[in-house]
Structure 1
Amino acid sequence: MNRQPILQTDRLIIRPLVQTDYEALYQIASDPAVWEQHPIHDRWRREVFDAFFADGMASGGALAVSDRTTGSLLGSTRFGPFDPEEGGVVEIGWTFLSTRHWGKGINPEMKRAMLAHAFASVELVEFRVGETNYRSRNALEAIGAMRSDRYELQKYQGKRVVHLVYEITRDRFERHMLEKR
C-alpha cells in the first residue's frame, strides 16, 4: 500500500508531507485549542511539536492537507504502518486541522479520501483516539468507524493515557458511503 499518495477531493489536496511544510503546520499547531482534548495536550509547544513533526517525517506515511483552490495548508494526517496479514490493516491518525476549518466538513472529506485509498489495499482501517477526545471520537463515528473493545494504555507526563481503538472494514465503509448518498 502506498502510504504517501497524492489524493484529491473537491476541496482538498492530500499529499506527502515535506520538511518545508514545517513552519506553516506549526502555525496551525501552535493554537492550544487544536490539542485541548488530545492526550498530548501541549503539542502546541514548539519542542513538543518538533518531535511530533520529526516522527511524522520519519514514519513514511505523513501527509499534508491543503486547500485545493488556494494551496494553503489546513493541517496534517498520517497513514501508519501497513500490516498485510489477514487481508491487510493500516491505521489512520495523527490528524490535526486549523480551528478555522473545524465544522466545515474538511475532516470527513479527508478521511473518506484516505479510506477509499486504503481500502484498495486493506480490509480493515484502525484509528486510535484519546479516551476524552470527544471531538475526534464523534468525527470517527460520523464516518462509520466503530469503537472496538480494544484500548491501549500509555503514560504522558506521568499520567495514564487511554487510547480507544476504532475500526472500519471495507464492507462497512462501502455501506456507509451508500447510505450517505
Structure 2
Amino acid sequence: MDRQPTLETERLLIRPMAQDDREALFAVASDPMVWEQHPIHDRWRREVFDRFFDECLASGGGLAVIRKDTGRVVGASRYDVYDPEEGGVVEIGWTYLERACWGKGINTEMKRAMLAHALSQVAVVEFRVGDTNYRSRNALEAIGAERTRSYEVDRYQGKRVVHLVYEITRESFASGPLA
C-alpha cells in the first residue's frame, strides 16, 4: 500500500511530509490546546514535538495537510502500521490540526480522502485514540468508525495510558456517513 500518497480535496492538499515541514508543523503543534486531551499532552513543547516529528518522518507514512486557499500547512496525519494479511489493514492516526480548522469540516474532508485511498487497497482501517481524548473519539464516531477494543500502552509521566481501537471497513465506509 502506498502510505505516502498525494491526495487532493476541494480545500486540501495532503502530501508526503518532508523535513522542510518541521517549522510549519511546530507552529501548529505549539498550541497546548491541540494536545490537551491527548495522552501525550505536552507535544507543544519543542523537544517533545521534535521527537514526535522525527518518528513521523521515519514511519514512512507521514502526511502534511495544506489549505489550498492559503497554501499554508495546517496540520498532519499519517498512515502507519500496515498488515497485508486477510485483505489488509492499515492504521490512520497521529492527526492534529490548527484550532482555526476545528469545527469547519477539515478533519472530515481529510479523513474521507485518506479512507478512500486506503480502502481502495485494504479491507479495514484502524484508528487508535487515547481513552480520554473525547474530541478525537467524537470525530471518529461522527465519520462512522466503530469501537472494537481497548488496550493499555506504556505509562506516560507516571500515568496509565489506555487506547481505544476504532475501525472502518470497506463496506461500512461505502454505506456510512462519508459515502
What is the match of residue 146 of structure 2?
146
Q: Deviations over 1:91-142 (max 9, x none)?
A: 0000000011100000010001000000111000000000010000000001
* TM-score using structure 2 length: 0.97
What is the match of residue 85 of structure 1?
85
What is the match of residue 14 of structure 1?
14
Q: How does 1:108-147 map to 2 (within 5 A)?
A: 108-147=108-147
What is the match of residue 76 of structure 1?
76
* TM-score using structure 1 length: 0.96
Aligned CA-pair RMSD = 1.0
What is the match of residue 103 of structure 2?
103
Partner-residue secondary structure (3-state), 1:54: helix
AA of the residue aligned to 1:122: V
What residue ranges of structure 2 are gaps of 5+ in the alignment?
Answer: none
What residue ranges of structure 1 are gaps of 5+ in the alignment?
Answer: none
AA of the residue aligned to 1:171: E
Shift of 1:71: 1.1
Q: Deviations over 1:30-53 (max 9, x none)?
A: 000000000000000000000000
Q: Percent identity?
A: 67
Contact kept? 2:67, 2:74, Cα under 8 Å: yes
Shift of 1:159: 1.2
How many residues end up aligned between the 2 structures?
A: 179
Q: Distance in 2 between matches of 1:129 and 1:137?
A: 7
- Runs of 4+ with deviation above 3 angstroms: none
